[in-house]
């Protein structure tokens, strides 16, 4: 196994990596830098799209371009014109809220959650976020509220279970999931963490064996866990304490891409952790991921 820097251009809060197997490119965001990045690991070419607010996550659209969750809006991003088209707005009565992580389900719906103001990393206005679903017809529904920091999402291969992270609960929750309707029920906790030891659970992906891989913010690691037994299986150390998210990519979906951050870092801390904020790649894991899914609206 080897961990190396994939893109040596540090951002402030890199997040939300998504492998688009149609184009062989990786999409990811810099939330505080207000950018969407689209990187080709073969040519090393990177396109950067400016967003006029904090952008929490991005996924490709089946019809072309991408959908972003930025500020408190869902919007379509046209890669050719670089223009944004607003689709829907949430949390209108909470002006300091913003979208954070998100992902699509197998029916092509886009799930993304919000969080409150965060003056200091992981110190947020509590219980003011929600998890939303942008349906393929453009309608938005709220799955639930009272969220601290809406984060990682993943589904089992049979689409019967959705895994979800609300970071300040220091756990992974599971829901019974109805793919036809998008309804959630039977919420239960399947994994817990010690933030002083492990870090804070952030972004998440799932492998073909049904094991979860979770980026641990302030932990400098990605943990592989078994949600069926609630046990940690292994730790992948990353040379960036603020490890933020992860996904599988590459032609065989066997390369793990890991985002990181340097939010709130002084010049001295950056000097001690110079690779913080970079995009990393992990090879030789012996695991494969499932394809990233597009928004079908």
Q: Please report, in range form, the residues annotated as the binding site.
A: 15, 98, 100, 118, 151, 202
Q: Which residues are annotated as a binding site for substrate?
A: 98, 100, 118
Which residues are within 8 A (CB) of 45 and not within 5 positions of it... i.e. 6 or more apart?
39
HSE, CB side, 13 Å, CA atoms: give it for residue 88.
Answer: 19
Q: Which residues are annotated as a binding site for a divalent metal cation?
A: 15, 151, 202
Task: Give me 282's structure tokens.
Answer: 């992990």
Cβ atoms of 288 and 248 closer than 8 Å: yes
Residue of 101, 166, 198, 202 marked catalytic? 202
Give the closest residue to 234 by CA, choosing from 213, 259, 205. 213
End-to-end Cα spacing for the chain = 38
- Annotation marks residue 202 as catalytic: yes
What are the residue numbers of the active site?
A: 202
């Amino acid at each position: 196994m080897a961990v190396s820097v994939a893109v040596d251009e540090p951002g402030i809060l890199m997040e939300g990596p998504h492998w688009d197997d149609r184009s062989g490119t990786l999409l990811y965001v810099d939330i505080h830098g207000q950018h969407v990045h689209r990187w080709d690991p073969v040519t090393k070419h990177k396109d950067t799209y400016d967003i006029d607010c904090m952008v929490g996550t991005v996924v490709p659209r089946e019809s072309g371009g991408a959908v972003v969750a930025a500020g408190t809006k869902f919007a379509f991003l046209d890669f050719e014109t670089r223009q944004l088209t607003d689709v829907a707005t949430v949390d209108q009565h909470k002006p300091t809220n913003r979208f954070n992580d998100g992902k699509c389900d197998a029916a092509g719906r886009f799930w993304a959650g919000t969080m409150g103001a965060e003056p200091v990393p992981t110190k947020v206005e509590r219980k003011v976020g929600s998890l939303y679903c942008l349906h393929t017809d453009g309608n938005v529904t709220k799955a639930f509220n009272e969220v601290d920091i809406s984060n990682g999402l993943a589904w089992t291969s049979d689409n019967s279970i959705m895994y979800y992270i609300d970071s300040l609960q220091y756990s992974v929750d599971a829901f019974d999931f109805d793919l036809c309707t998008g309804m959630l029920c039977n919420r239960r906790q399947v994994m817990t963490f010690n933030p002083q030891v492990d870090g804070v659970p952030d972004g998440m992906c799932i492998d073909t064996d049904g094991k979860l891989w979770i980026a641990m913010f302030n932990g400098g690691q990605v943990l592989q866990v078994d949600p069926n037994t609630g046990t940690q299986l292994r730790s992948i150390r990353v040379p960036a304490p603020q490890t933020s998210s992860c996904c599988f990519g590459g032609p065989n979906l066997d390369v793990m891409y890991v985002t990181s951050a340097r939010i709130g870092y002084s010049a001295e801390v950056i000097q001690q952790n110079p690779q913080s904020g970079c995009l990393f790649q992990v090879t030789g894991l012996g695991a494969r991921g499932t394809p990233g899914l597009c928004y079908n609206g």
